[in-house]
Amino acid sequence: MATGDVLDKDSFFSPFQTILVSLLSAPLTLVATHNLMQIFTAAVPPHHCHSNFTLDPKHLPADPCTRYVSPLMNETKACSEEDGWDYNRSVHTSTIISEWDLICDREPLKEVAQSVYMAGVLVGAIVYGTLADRFGRRAVLLCCILQIAAMGTGASLSPNFISYCFFRFLTGMGICGFLINDLGLTMEWTPKRFRPAVSMFQGYCLTFGQIVLAGVAYAITDWRWLQMALSLPFFIFFIFIWWVPESFRWLTLTRCSHQALINLNRVARINGDNTGSTITLEMLQQDDQKGGLVKKMTPFDLFRTPVMRKITISLSMSWFSSSFCFFALAMDIQRFGLNIYLVQVIFGCTELPLRILSTITATYIGRRFSVSFFLLISGVLILGSLAIPTDKMILQMSIAVLTKGFLGSSIVCAYLYTAELFPTALRQTGIGFTNMMMRLGAVVAPVAMMTKVYVPFLPLIIFGVVPIICGVPILFLPETLNSPLLDTVEEVEKRVRKITPEVTNDSIHETGSVRGTKL
């Protein structure tokens, strides 16, 4: 677009961009806490069936789901809800397990709760991505933040398990809608030379959330208070993010040039240009002509043309495989037999240096290489773990931590790469669809874990092969390093076919100078 490169003309990161990135990155520190919260809110404390005969642990049945029939303690029967259970509350004062007795024959309900949450995330990915391309990034972003705050608080006040799942479903929808629009809006206000650094910084915030979760969960051992403590801050985020302006790119493409000009002038004043932007309404209206059909775009447009179809399918495979393996490792930390708070901190801290590596590769080598490389090496590490003896638990945990770090780096690079590949007209729809595939991977991961019933090492083979298969097609997509964001499907098609777009940087000079705009 004629104004598309206006953010790229300055060699410094402006005050406005610093404030915007700070405001949009702060809530990201709590996203991971909701995704992984059930590690602590649904922790299974030591328990046994309440018995009228003895409470001495030495004389309890070996199976916590049974109780003695008589004081002779020579016959047992299944424990019923009428009998009740006693829980060891030394570590967890209260969890949804002890609150609603989700043990024994009700144990599968624990996984149901997490699956319902992930289903909400999956629905939110496609719903809020499409709505953002239709009604704007900022409006949907604010709605999602308010939804997280209200529904997360509602979950903490749930009177029963069904209402808890209902609120968690809506919280998951809000979390995904917030995430994709937060990252998308940030990219559309960021110059191309700073996009890798900003994307990785936001990735650090997501990773830091894992450490925050461990600390808050250690301090708050009651699941209701923990749920509330991680939900109420979003009311504050809602107030602060109200300051963030709508993307001028989206406004221009949807024929809202007057509001786009107001936003650009506001940004110029924040950056110290008291005369405002030298971009004129006429310059923006020239770009209006390209955006007449934007409001009619649907998710089907992701597959309508050959190039968009190739991009969508390849990115979807990448997102699916990353999440498929990432959440399988993240949600299974109890198998290492260590303190779950300590393991959570280790997982979070180990990812930080790997994010630095991903920043370097994405900035100097390329986005395409980074996404593919981290997927391929993750698959190799998982397959390599098959050779580690089962009694070498520390070594197994080290490989799992390293693999999870590489998968997390692949996800962060994929956010950047996806935002740069899809045009403005379909950017949030594309990010939403690929995020839907990401959540589908998280939903399918537990199913793959169940295959160990038939072959103990089969899950590792599956988790190792899938990222390798899905990482290869990424290498056949176009590289976006040092490339401007494109706005229409036609421009994406031309870039891939190596045809020069009709609108070039020279268009800016033909319509007037923008050197005075400090964006």
160 is in which domain, residue-wise?
6-42+108-496
Counting every residue, how long is the chain? 519
Question: Other CB atoms closer than 10 Å to residue 442's CB: what's the count?
Answer: 26
What whole-number distance in Å separates Cα of residue 411 and Cα of residue 418? Answer: 10
Distances (CA, A) of 357 to 204, 315, 350, 373, 408: 12, 21, 12, 12, 12
Give me the pLDDT at residue 510, please. Answer: 36
Give me the pLDDT at residue 145, please. Answer: 95
Give me the pLDDT at residue 274, please. Answer: 53
| 27 falls within a domain | yes
Beta strands 47-49 and 85-87: pairing type?
antiparallel
Question: Other CB atoms closer than 10 Å to residue 156's CB: what's the count?
Answer: 20
What whole-number distance in Å separates Cα of residue 311 and Cα of residue 324? Answer: 20
| 408 falls within a domain | yes
CATH number of the domain to which 328 belongs: 1.20.1250.20
Task: State which residues of the chain have pLDDT below 70.
Answer: 1-12, 51-59, 71-73, 273-297, 330-340, 344, 347-348, 498-519
What whole-number distance in Å separates Cα of residue 487 and Cα of residue 124? Answer: 24
Scan for tokens 């790229």, then name that residue.
Answer: 8
Distances (CA, A) of 492 to 131, 238, 252, 339, 500: 22, 34, 18, 49, 11
Distances (CA, A) of 342 to 51, 227, 337, 348: 34, 20, 11, 10
| 201 falls within a domain | yes
Give me the pLDDT at residue 106, please. Answer: 81
SS3 54: coil
What whole-number distance in Å separates Cα of residue 307 and Cα of residue 327? Answer: 30
| 113 falls within a domain | yes
Quick one: which of 336, 328, 325, 344 has its CA closest to 37?
344
What whole-number distance in Å separates Cα of residue 426 and Cα of residue 430? Answer: 6
Give me the pLDDT at residue 500, please. Answer: 43
| 68 falls within a domain | no
- Of the chain, the percentage scoring pLDDT greater than 90 comes to 20
What whole-number distance in Å separates Cα of residue 89 and Cα of residue 180? Answer: 38
Q: What is the pTM of this model?
A: 0.74
Give me the pLDDT at residue 294, please. Answer: 47
| 94 falls within a domain | no
- CA 457 from chain centre, in angstroms, equals 28
| 138 falls within a domain | yes
| 505 falls within a domain | no
Number of domain units in the chain: 1
